[in-house]
Amino acid sequence: MTDLGTHEPRTTVRVDNVNYFFGEGESRNQVLFDNCIEIEAGQLVVMTGPSGSGKTTLLTLIGALRSVQSGRIEILDHSLSGLRRAELIAMRRNIGFIFQMHNLFDSLSALENVKMAMQLGGCPASEMRRRGTEILERLGLGHRIDHKPRALSGGQRQRVAVARALVNRPKLVLADEPTAALDKDSSRIVVNLLKELTTQEGCTVMMVTHDNRILELADRIVNMVDGTITSDVVLRDALMICEFLRTVELFKHLTPTELTNVAEKMKRQRYGQDEIIIREGEPGEAFYLISHGSVDVRRRGTDAEERRVATLGAGNFFGERALIVNEPRNASCVAASERVEVFALDKASFKHALETSASFKEQIQTIYFQRQ
Amino acid sequence: MGQWADGAARIGRFAAALRSTSPRRGGTRRAVPLAWRNMLSDRRRLLRSISGIAFAALLMMLQIGFRNAFIDSALQVLYNIDGDILITSSTKFRFAAKDPFARRQLYAAHAVDGVAWARPIYGEWNLAIWKNPQTRKTYSTQVLAFDPDQPVFLFPEVRDHLEQLRQPDTALSDRKARRSYGFADAGTVTELTRREIRIIGNFALGPDFTADGTVITSDRTFLKFFAPRPLAAGELADIEFGVVKVRPGYAIETVQQALKQALPANIAVRTKAEWLALETDFQNTVSPVGPIFMLGTAIGFIVGMMISYQVLYTDLSDQLPQYATLKAMGYENTYLVRAVLEQASFYALAGFLPGLAVAVGLAHVLADVTLLPLRMSFETVATTFALTLGMCLFAAALAMRRVLAADPADVF
């Protein structure tokens, strides 16, 4: 199988088998368990889960606010593991933090609070006022830039805190319930700005929230329970996969819930032209659904010469047979266009879906035996 | 004025050095005067803080001022002796401690190369009792005497009355003596050690920690009043000081060394500067003056430090989440330390200035009341400012521990 890493888009956050413990000795208590997640640039990721599930701890680890104890975390192509305190501090300057409490200095005006962030960002002094004013205006606070926090409403203060986090145009923003203290209008302004950052500037936003208004805009929802990521759904992909799966004979009888469950498990992979996706004779490891580009199906003839027997396009699938009959691949599949994008469902998830849905199993087997 | 001009120049250089460290801190460009804004954010608290720090500064300034005034007052008589070298008994440890030595040693001093003249001063501190001419109450006093043919004092009034001093039972009295001495201008007749004495004029010296006033007489009057017994013909009375004037062209230290060699071991030969240092050291370390006012200064320092600590601790505690947020944003501890120290320095300056203004006014009043040379010299002001600054910075160093311990992860 091709190394997935080379086919993924630029990764902003990579969390690999991360554990975390509070306390020492007998009072040592594990709060994170073998968490893995990769987040691409430009995603708005919402983290959900019950209180105490480890969302905030994971966020503070990604934000270099705590030292990594076990596992590996990379942000913006830099590993946080084994960094010294000064290096962790330097790393934080690349991140925009938005806290549930605004934590603005009452002694400073709105603009000066924003300037506190710009001081760190290397912004020329002559530019500070213009840039600070610009972002405060975008957040609807152009007429309040010289006001102290005490003279601002709760929503306005939080928007100043958002401006402070975003003014240096960070590539990664970590937010903890940023709209909890906001009214509907303020919340919409803040969320729209965050979404705009992801789509226009490729900024990655990770946000702990229970605000349904944000869930609608999220690209990805990560759910944590008891220190473990229990689900990680890329909504755009899941939607697209469901649309594809509905058109596929094999899946058309699944209920929407069953379809969504399958879609959530599928991972995006990308291939360049002539790259081999599966090879004839090798054991089957995944089921594939083509979302973009074309794939040649090749089989070896009796003369051992490989010949193209079919070309599959977007919406077609392959790789299911080896999983169902538990035999080696009977053909190779090779990327036939410059950019091929597929969604892969690993063998375990495929079989799990098969076993939990009687209709699905029946359908697959019927289809499979019809093919025979 | 010269002292203040020199001091102002030193402050200017210090400020320039401070400014040169200001533009960047810990690699972070400063566009927001956080410390200044924090200090001004709560006007009521600022007023309370300034009042507390000003009180401490005032207390310290007056204590240091009084200490310097007492020491200065003890040195005034030395400043007014017209000589380069003083010869005394080797066991004499301060000016006002009676410890006479044989006058014949002066003749030996005369013979030393480089000595222009050597003249005696007589002194009495233990037996001298002055009667207030108005109230008739008696007080102990300091009596100094010299030979009018060999003047040794620089007081102009003394030099103007040499002829009159030759008359028996006459004296010059200190017009800056404590009010309890009464008013004794020329012509007043009162008592000195239960003997009648006529005042022929006044000079200006003032009281010190041991003497409330001073009387200057001729050697003859002095010996008549205080000699333990009548002197036989040709007998020389013991003296307290031998005042040596060095000939022009001779180095004082060279003549001092020559005198030391010429005189026996029970005679001490010190320059006037050495006597000033000895007296200062005595006042600072042996007399109650140094410890009393040091204690007062220390109390002012501690009170001020507690006030500053309370102010800064409350201020920093109230803003702990904000400081933790700065850490989360990527600010280093060095920035926070400097911001807190800067704020403490602003408090010190803001409290010191009103303290100085009140101290100058009070010093003026107290100098009139106590008759001490109490003034806010550059040294007193600079020392007090350094102590005020140190007190605020020390308080800040204690208070900032919470900020340094703040965990940015707790902000989430």
Q: Which residue among B29, B38, B41 places its CB closest to the CB of A119?
A: B29
The pLDDT, as a whole number, for residue A360 is 58
ipTM: 0.72
List chain A domain ranges: 4-233, 234-371
Task: Quickly state the pLDDT bin for A185 (edges 50, 70, 90).
Answer: confident
- Residue A364: pLDDT band with limits 50, 70, 90: low
Determine whether the interchain pair A90/B412 forms a contact, defined as Cβ–Cβ distance below 8 Å.
no
Which residues of B fall within a CB distance of 8 Å from A170?
A: none
Q: Going edge to edge, which strands form the sheet with A286-292?
A: A267-272, A339-346, A286-292, A317-318
Q: Which residues of A touch B37 (CB under 8 A)?
A: 105, 107-108, 112
- pLDDT at position A6 over 90: no
* The listed CATH number (3.90.1310.10, 3.90.1150.10, 3.20.20.70, 3.40.50.300) that belongs to domain A4-233: 3.40.50.300
Residue B390 touches partner A, C-beta closer than 8 Å: no
A86 is written with which tokens?
């000064």
pLDDT higher than threshold 50 for residue B27: no
B199, B130 contact by CB (below 8 A): no
Do residue A120 and residue B329 have CB atoms under 8 angstroms apart? yes
Chain A residue nearest residue B41, CA to CA: A107
Q: How many CB atoms lie within 10 A of CB B310?
A: 15
Measured on CA atoms in the order A303, A305, A311, A312, is the torsion positive or negative? positive
Contacts of A172 in chain B (CB under 8 A): none
Q: Does B43 touch chain A (CB under 8 A)?
A: no
Residue B19 pLDDT exceeds 50: no
User: Residue A346: left if φ>0, alpha if ψ -120 to 50, beta else—which one?
Assistant: beta
Q: pLDDT tens digits for A117-131?
A: 998 877 888 889 999
Q: Can you read off the two tokens belonging to residue B187? A: 């012509």
What are the residue ranges of helices labelled H in B80-138? 104-110
- What local confidence, expressed as pLDDT, does residue A249 receive? 67
Integer-rounded Cα Rg, in Å, for chain B is 29
- Considering only the top CATH level, what class is A234-371? mainly beta
Q: Measured between alpha carbons, how far is residue A66 from residues A80, A82, B334 in Å?
A: 10, 11, 19
> Is A25's pLDDT higher than 60?
yes
Q: How far is CA B7 from the centre of its chain?
A: 18
CA-nearest residue of chain A to B26? A120
